[in-house]
Structure 1
């Protein structure tokens, strides 16, 4: 089963004092990673019900939710960028300076502990979700700074 989404526009029909950088590849990466995470979590749902150390179960759940939150926030930002590129909204509407991604502490937090009980697949997804989140948070911060001027 494939998951299609409309391609990013090739034009930007809005007034702005800075150039739009097309985020098509980042959007595609976010979309793919979101589907991958959903598939992983669905496939491993049955493992959560098995008898396991409650501390490990809680840590796994926290890390899964952190990964999911990162992906959702990154995707939301990239969808706002696409709306700007399509001329549906202005940059000022796309950026909420009171709710920037760099202010979301739970998503910025890096865990230095090694969770040996987490599967390598989940750890890989977690790292890629964090990298994507940090990249989109920097993009959002740059746009917010330009909109404030």
Structure 2
């Protein structure tokens, strides 16, 4: 299910991303979304800790932050696909206000407060954070270019 956006030639504003790395990032995001869904579905209800404990609440928060990171990264990557396909413009793909709110939420990290995180969940959280940071950097680059052209 590899996505390859059309190649427009040159490196102008309408073609911000090299096809191969973008395709890999998109595939990685989709794979991580599926892995996170499967993990959370399979492990929900198996927790053996008090759901009102600070550790449990911190873990729930970090699980939600992980899914938010993945969804936000996938939303950005789908926007890039839409731009590359000519369906929308960069001005529609970049929303500075939402981006800054999302960054404020998604860069927080409270994994150290989660005492019962499994190694598998920790691995998913780390990979989701890495993916989100790469997608956020790409979006910030496009947002900066977009602002400088206004």
User: What TM-score comes out, normalization by structure 1 length?
Assistant: 0.84
- How many residue pairs are counted as aligned between the two chains? 142
Assess, with a 3 A threshold, how the Cα gap between structure 1 residues 6 and 89 changes in structure 2: closer, same or farther: farther
Unaligned runs of 5+ in 2: none
SS at match of 2:96: coil
Cα distance in structure 2, aligned partners of 1:12 and 1:34 = 29
| 1:54–1:63 distance in 2 versus 1, CA, 3 Å | same
In the aligned structure 2, how far is the partner of 1:120 from the partner of 1:112?
12
**For structure 1, which runs of at least 5 residues remain unmatched after alignment?**
none
Residue 17 of structure 1, aligned match among 13, 18, 28: 13
The CA distance in 1 between the partners of 2:81 and 2:88, in whole Å, is 9
Distance 1:98 1:60 in 2: 28
- How far has the Cα of 1:37 moved from its partner? 0.2
CA distance in 2, matches of 1:57, 1:147: 42
Structure-1 residue corresponding to 2:56: 57
- Over the aligned positions, Cα root-mean-square deviation in angstroms equals 2.2
Question: Structure 1 CA distance, aligned partners of 2:89 and 2:51?
Answer: 49
Q: Which has the higher helix share?
A: 2
